[in-house]
A and B are shown apart, each in its own frame.
Chain A
Amino acid sequence: MAIQNLREIDLTNVSDTQKIDILKKVNTDLKSSLDDVISILAKFSEAISIKFDLKALLELVCGILKEIIKYKSIAVTIYDEKRETFNYMALRDVDAATDVKIKNLIKEGLAQWAVTQKRSIVMPDMESNIESTFIIVPLISQMETIGVVFMYCNKSAESFMQQDLEFLNILGAQSAIAVKNTFLYQEMGAKNRDLDNLKNYLNDVINHMVTGLIVMDLEGVIKTFNHISEGLLFIKSTAVVGKKYESVLPRSISETITQAMNFVRTNNVRNISHMPEYEVDYDEPGKVIPLRMSFNCLKDNTSNVIGVIFMIQDLTESREIKRLKEIDKIKSELVANVSHELRTPLTSIKAYAETLLDIAGTEDVDTQKEFLGIICQESERLTNLISNLLDLSRLESGDFKLDRSAVDLSEIIKKSAMLLKELASRTSVSILIELPQDVSKFLGDASKIEQVVINLISNAIKYNKPEGGKVTVSLREFPDKFEITIKDTGIGVPQESVDKIFDKFYRVDSSLTYQVSGTGLGLAIVKHIIDLHGGQINVESQVNIGSKFSITLPK
């Protein structure tokens, strides 16, 4: 007995036992039909929820619907939002005639009606000779139109029961969710691939930067540590990523990071456009690498600071370039200087030689002698200059050897002062010598020490004030060393140049010293010689008051 006929049963003339039997039967029927429905639904939901490929899912849906509906043919369409049409996505047994009919149903707006009304439609096929029905089930997931399923059955529309329609709606909703899931799954896959690509891209960019990069969160946990950072700091990223910087980075670096982090914490960094930069000398065993560390804040999409990005640059090269530029400048100046120095004596030698040629054979022997003297003197100057250059070059190449003997420093000072007496008197400079009574001998190269003393005294004369200058040379002996000081009352050396005057080719501001001839080599040679003796040379100087050069020589 079919349950739908329950209400039709006339129980008036039925015995109580029969009544009980009928009710039992009805109950069993109801229970079994409910069990059927539940088991079909469970099977359906379970099967479709594990498919993430659209084609495979729709195949499965078609297969299960075949079991439930016993359709003749089926077409699953997916809604194309842009074109506002329903496109076939899965078909089974759809012949040409059915295809036309389905397309007509779509054209007439039935698919659209089913989705807007969220109702399944059961429609008799009027054109068919045998009783046939179209079942149109909308696929809607969370208000979004997914598509419509068309099923064609050789079954009368009249035979559909209320529960069939409700059941179709449930199947439709379940299928829609599963289809939507495949869409989301695909979308997620695409997004994941995009993210992977982006990640690779960013990693490439980060690792091919010429700047070291360290990114950390506000807790100080290192998040990124690129290849250049590894190379600069001699640390592997695997050893530091995920750890607090204080515990894994060398002290000089981590102290700088702490400063920067404090800056970030104590300032409203949103309003600061220019962040401080730090220079750090990074002590790597064997060498010191100068680094520049700059930083910026890492912000999330609402501009909240969530971390700090450090950029590290190796300054070795840029410092080297700076130094080379300076050398280049010095060399250019030297060429100008040396050319000038060479030309001055050459010019006068040439002029006097030409004049001598003109007057050769005349009686004027005095003039000829005088001219030859000048030529000789200028040649001497040239020789000096060239030998200075040679000295320096030998000193630099390391060929220079000291010829050590017991040297009387007092004698050397006296002799040097003697030699320069004439030069001093020419510029009205007086030389004052202060020597102790008894001085022990110094073991050194006498001629080189003399060269040093002569050089320093002649500088003291040359760079003294124009009239009435004074040069004081003194010698003192200490238990472990000798000290020679040469003090003048001249133009002095500006503070910023004091450290550089011993550099070869260096001359204090060209315009100031232009009147005084010099190659810029003298003090460099002096320093080399003192260094070779294991001594030291220091300068104290005040502009326009005078300079004091002190040489200490160890015993």
Chain B
Amino acid sequence: MAISETLLKKIESLPTLPIVVTRIMQLVENPKTAAVEISKVVSLDPALTVKILKIVNSAYYGFPKQITTITHAIMILGFEDVKNIALGVSVFDIFKSKSAKGAVEEFDRIAFWQHSIGVGACTKLLAKKLRYKNPEEAFICGILHDIGKIILDQYFHEEFMQIIGIAKNENLLFVNAEKKVTDIEHPEIGRIVAKKWGLPQTIIDSIAFHHNPSLSEGHALLVSLVHASDVFCRIQKIGNGGDDLVPQLQKTAWDNLKLQPTDLAKLYEELHEEVKKADTFMEFTKAQ
């Protein structure tokens, strides 16, 4: 049976997003939602509450005062940010590193999440430079862009390891090695799962088209930022997404950035700075 068919069946058994996160996503869509309402929902999950407070008080935001309640976090950081944080940490939770089990891994999940957070940080950085309206949305889009890979690893581990092997031995990009093994590639797998989880269209498009941003209808700019960030992080060797190659940066994506080649050195410098700030997120990717 081809993976695609099995996958569609298996998706049913995929873990869903925590109900708390889904609820937050619904609430944030309503402009008349009050901070206290979200705060109530988050408080149903004490672990999530702690994680959110940890992040809002981290260097990532650099807020000068201690933030002690979710309501304050929402008032200060805004509804969207708190939603994205909740979504991010929940996804990390689902696909936590297995290294705690002691198995020697050919695929390093820590490096994988490092790459994902790097792409998130870079997308946010580029979004700010282009004055994109919501840089935090860019951050979460970057973080989740390769979610399809981790689903492959989790549910089609054998095939996944085969792909990793081919990519390594034949010196291919993961996405090209994938074509030799499966009939469905990680962007599409990610897209199906993201859709099932009811994630916003910006995230779905970032997952589905991060190798080909111009295919996105309506979010091509944001997706091209994710695409470019993926390339930049591979160049800067921030984490590892399963192969050691750098894909070609698409011309339209480069044009969207409005950058000169001479600006890149400064961008990389800022990128490493930004990745350092986002370090707190890494904590939640590791098995406790």
Mark A residues whose CB is within 8 Å of B.
Answer: 2-4, 6-7, 33, 108-110, 112-113, 117, 119, 121-124, 143, 157-163, 165-166
Minimum C-beta distance from B55 to chain A (A)? 15
A104→B34 CA distance, assembly (Å): 28
Inter-subunit contact A121/B75 (CB<8 Å): yes
A169→B27 CA distance, assembly (Å): 20
Apart from A113-B64, A158-B39, A160-B35: 9 A-B pairs, beta carbons within 8 A:
A4-B32, A7-B26, A119-B76, A121-B75, A123-B75, A124-B75, A157-B71, A161-B35, A162-B35
Inter-subunit contact A162/B77 (CB<8 Å): no
Query: Residues of A contacting B131 with CB < 8 Å?
Result: 143
Inter-subunit contact B63/A6 (CB<8 Å): no
Q: List 11 A-B contacts (CB under 8 A).
A: A4-B34, A108-B64, A119-B76, A119-B78, A121-B76, A124-B75, A143-B131, A157-B75, A158-B34, A160-B35, A162-B28
A205→B40 CA distance, assembly (Å): 77
- Of B30, B39, B72, B78, which is within 8 A of A3 by CB? B30
Inter-subunit contact B72/A159 (CB<8 Å): no
A245→B127 CA distance, assembly (Å): 59
Inter-subunit contact B35/A4 (CB<8 Å): no
- Of A2, A4, A165, which is within 8 A of B78 by CB? A165
Inter-subunit contact B72/A123 (CB<8 Å): yes
Query: Residues of A contacting B28 with CB < 8 Å?
Result: 162
Query: Residues of A contacting B65 with CB < 8 Å?
Result: 108, 110, 123
Given the interface contacts A7-B26, A110-B65, does A161 sit within 8 Å of B72 by beta carbon?
no
Given the interface contacts A7-B27, A119-B78, A123-B75, does A161 sit within 8 Å of B33 by beta carbon?
yes
A123→B77 CA distance, assembly (Å): 11
- Of B30, B34, B75, B76, which is within 8 A of A6 by CB? B30
Inter-subunit contact A159/B31 (CB<8 Å): no
Pick the most buried of B26, B28, B77: most chain A CB atoms within 10 A of its CB. Answer: B77
Query: Residues of B contacting A159 with CB < 8 Å?
Result: 34, 36
Inter-subunit contact A119/B77 (CB<8 Å): yes
Closest to A158 in B: B36
Closest 6 CB pairs of A and B: A163-B31, A122-B75, A158-B36, A109-B64, A4-B32, A162-B79
Closest to B27 in A: A7
Minimum C-beta distance from A444 to chain B (A)? 100
Inter-subunit contact B72/A157 (CB<8 Å): yes
Minimum C-beta distance from A177 to chain B (A)? 15
Inter-subunit contact B78/A113 (CB<8 Å): no
Instruction: List which B54-68 residues lie within 8 A (CB) of chain A.
Output: 61-65
A120→B35 CA distance, assembly (Å): 14
Inter-subunit contact A161/B31 (CB<8 Å): yes
Query: Residues of B contacting A122 with CB < 8 Å?
Result: 35, 75-76
Closest to B131 in A: A143
Query: Residues of B contacting A113 with CB < 8 Å?
Result: 62-64
Minimum C-beta distance from B231 to chain A (A)? 26
Given the interface contacts A159-B36, A165-B79, does A110 sit within 8 Å of B64 by beta carbon?
yes
A2→B76 CA distance, assembly (Å): 24
A68→B28 CA distance, assembly (Å): 23
A404→B64 CA distance, assembly (Å): 121
Q: Does B270 touch A at the CB level, under 8 Å?
A: no
Query: Residues of B contacting A166 with CB < 8 Å?
Result: 31
A110→B63 CA distance, assembly (Å): 8
Query: Residues of A contacting B77 with CB < 8 Å?
Result: 119
Q: Does B45 touch A at the CB level, under 8 Å?
A: no
Query: Residues of A contacting B158 with CB < 8 Å?
Result: none
A160→B73 CA distance, assembly (Å): 13
Inter-subunit contact B32/A165 (CB<8 Å): no
A5→B79 CA distance, assembly (Å): 17
A322→B127 CA distance, assembly (Å): 79
Closest to B23 in A: A7
Inter-subunit contact B75/A165 (CB<8 Å): yes
Query: Residues of B contacting A161 with CB < 8 Å?
Result: 31-35
A113→B76 CA distance, assembly (Å): 10
Closest to A124 in B: B72
A33→B31 CA distance, assembly (Å): 11
A65→B31 CA distance, assembly (Å): 20
Inter-subunit contact B39/A162 (CB<8 Å): no
Q: Does B37 touch A at the CB level, under 8 Å?
A: yes
Minimum C-beta distance from B84 to chain A (A)? 14
A159→B30 CA distance, assembly (Å): 15
Closest to B62 in A: A113
A73→B77 CA distance, assembly (Å): 24
Query: Residues of B contacting A121 with CB < 8 Å?
Result: 75-76
A166→B31 CA distance, assembly (Å): 9
A388→B181 CA distance, assembly (Å): 134
Query: Residues of A contacting B37 with CB < 8 Å?
Result: 4
Closest to A108 in B: B64
Query: Residues of A contacting B76 with CB < 8 Å?
Result: 119, 121-123
Inter-subunit contact A162/B75 (CB<8 Å): no
Instruction: List which B8-56 residues lie within 8 A (CB) of chain A.
Output: 26-28, 30-37, 39
Minimum C-beta distance from B202 to chain A (A)? 18
A108→B36 CA distance, assembly (Å): 26
Minimum C-beta distance from B146 to chain A (A)? 28
Minimum C-beta distance from A36 to chain B (A)? 12
Given the interface contacts A2-B32, A4-B32, A4-B33, does A160 sit within 8 Å of B75 by beta carbon?
yes
A109→B30 CA distance, assembly (Å): 31
Closest to A119 in B: B78
